Chain A
Amino acid sequence: MVRRLFTGRDTELIPQGRMSGPMPWVIAIMVAMTAIALAAGLALGNAVSSAKAEIEGGVTVQIIEPRADIRQKEAESAVAAIKTMPGVAGLRLVPQAELDALIEPWLGTGIANATGSAIPVPSLIDVRLKGPATPAALSAIEQRLKPVAPSARVDAQSNWLKPVFNAMVSLQVLAIAIVALLALALTAAVLLAARTALGTNRDTIEIVHLLGGTDAQVARVFQRSIGYDAAGGGAVGLALALVVILVLARRFAGLGAGLVNNGALTWGDWLLLALVPVLSTLLAMVTARLTVLHALRKML
């Protein structure tokens, strides 16, 4: 049967050594790089979306009054005022102990005892809005606080993280561009391999043609041959990439930073990574087929 011409090991038209020659290893490297770039892109995407969702409705109110007793009073008034506002999902007055802990790594403990006066650390109120912290929402809070806490300063949490998000999105775009470039490079490599194989096996191809073989039959032989190489190389590449991704994941997890931890890959992401060698194999096979068909059209 025609199919056997292209599937039976003993009757392969083109002599093939599985995983021999440079092609499987080129594909392995490309799949590994693609998977790593994709994993980076996905992790960055997860981190950005997760952090955005977390702080989208976040507002920080600072009471910057230097006198502690007035500051305390303004903070309590501000909490009471914000609580009555519509659109507020929740709020928390950050306890003094937490604020002291925040500055402790820089200033140490016992400053008040040593200098006779405590450093005036602003009171912080962490507010959660039901919707995003738009300029209008911020303005409404500011207006509401003006009479009861004149030293209050209102900031959307997303504002000061915006440059970080922008940088992360840029990195994500870069990762996607790298994936696209690697796909192009893979296509080019397969194209060259198919052309070389065509040249090497030109005599066999001519014989098959003269025996009544069709272009599609010949193309299928090359497609299958490169498909095997791509599948083998892809599996090796994915294994390499998984090792790198897991090692990097462990290193980043060690940082203990919230933004990084939010970038953990989901099951869907792992599935996408597993699809990289599959898609690479398909891309290689389609490229090989089209290249061979194009070249054969020039033969009689």
Chain B
Amino acid sequence: MTADGEIIHFDNVGLRYGTDREVLSDLTFTLFPSRFYFLTGASGAGKTSLLRLLYLAQRPSRGAIRMFGTDAITMPRSRLPQLRRRIGVVFQDFRLIQHLSAFDNVALPLRVAGHREEDLAAPVRDILDWVGLADRLDAKPATLSGGEQQRVAIARAVIARPAMLVADEPTGNVDPDMALKLMRLFEMLNRQGTTVVVATHDLDLLRKVPDSLIMRLDRGRLSDPTGALRYPPRKPA
């Protein structure tokens, strides 16, 4: 985190795949700690591409990105893992490792970060209990329902207490009750100091987190990075 408190800063960022037109253009915005952001936009607006930039799966074609006080564009590749360990990711398609149990999927970030084996069991059990899967520790992803897989993915994203949680359509595969439950989980995390960025095209979801800030992507351009379009709309002073 920088002295002025920002954790992410995009400056005139653009992204294109190959020689196609830019899928993201002129993105300039700042994310602050302990805030809850929604990233909205129609399908194909570039939400997933922007999230990929946020969780360092992709480098932009142009512009500058600062993350946790570090220039994420020019930093050597060898330092990326350290930065990535500060970011939790919930993928739209969960991306659980199919041959590992729920326990081992959730434990993966801790193992990767070098935690001792004897220190893993308690936090992993706690977090799986927290997402309501205490009795499915040994279950392989294929035997879990969509909602259960989603919760394992969320548990894996938050187990290492990331500074920022990025979630791509986390409620896309679950029923409304489960969607609400997941939002409560994210809010709880957010209250504990994690910056949350949730990409969704479900406008009803925005209503469920009243203090959230909204970023809207329209054909690759960010129309409201300041939070003025938060839902319900902020009344003029």
| Chain A residues with a Cβ under 8 A of chain B | 1-2, 4-5, 8, 10-13, 15, 203-204, 206-214, 217, 297, 300
Contact = CB atoms under 8 A, between A and B. Distances in A.
Contacts of A12: 99
B117 interface: yes
Given A1-B116, A217-B112, A212 B85 contact: yes
Nearest to B108: A211
B224 to A, nearest CB: 28
Contacts of A214: 78, 81
B115 A11 contact: no
Given A5-B112, A10-B104, A217-B112, A212 B95 contact: no
Contacts of B89: 210-211
B85 A11 contact: no
Contacts of A297: 77
B12 interface: no
Interface stretch (B19-27, B56-64, B188-196): B56-64
14 contacts: A5-B108, A5-B112, A15-B99, A209-B81, A210-B56, A210-B89, A211-B156, A212-B81, A212-B160, A214-B78, A217-B112, A297-B77, A300-B57, A300-B59
B114 A211 contact: no
B74 interface: no
B81 A4 contact: no
Given A211-B84, A212-B84, A300-B58, A2 B114 contact: yes
Interface string B26-62: 0000000000000000000000000000011111000
Contact of A11 (B78, B84, B100, B109): B100
A212 B97 contact: no
Given A203-B95, A207-B97, 5 more contacts: A15-B99, A208-B112, A212-B84, A212-B113, A214-B78
Contacts of A213: 81, 112
Contacts of A2: 111-114
Given A11-B104, A204-B97, A210 B84 contact: yes
Nearest to B118: A1
A11 B105 CA distance: 9
Given A297-B77, A300-B57, A211 B112 contact: yes
B117 A212 contact: no
Interface of B: 55-59, 77-78, 80-82, 84-85, 89, 95, 97, 99-101, 104, 107-109, 111-117, 156, 160
Contacts of B58: 300
B197 to A, nearest CB: 15
A139 to B, nearest CB: 72
A8, A13, A210: residue with the most chain B Cβ atoms closer than 10 Å: A210
A297 B160 CA distance: 26
A15 B104 CA distance: 13
A25 to B, nearest CB: 23
Given A204-B97, A212-B109, A1 B84 contact: no
Contacts of A203: 95
A117 B166 CA distance: 111
A106 B111 CA distance: 81
Contacts of B113: 2, 212
Given A10-B104, A211-B84, A1 B111 contact: yes
A202 B40 CA distance: 30
A89 B112 CA distance: 73
A147 B236 CA distance: 134
A210 B97 contact: no
Contacts of A217: 112
B97 A13 contact: yes
A300 to B, nearest CB: 6
B35 to A, nearest CB: 22
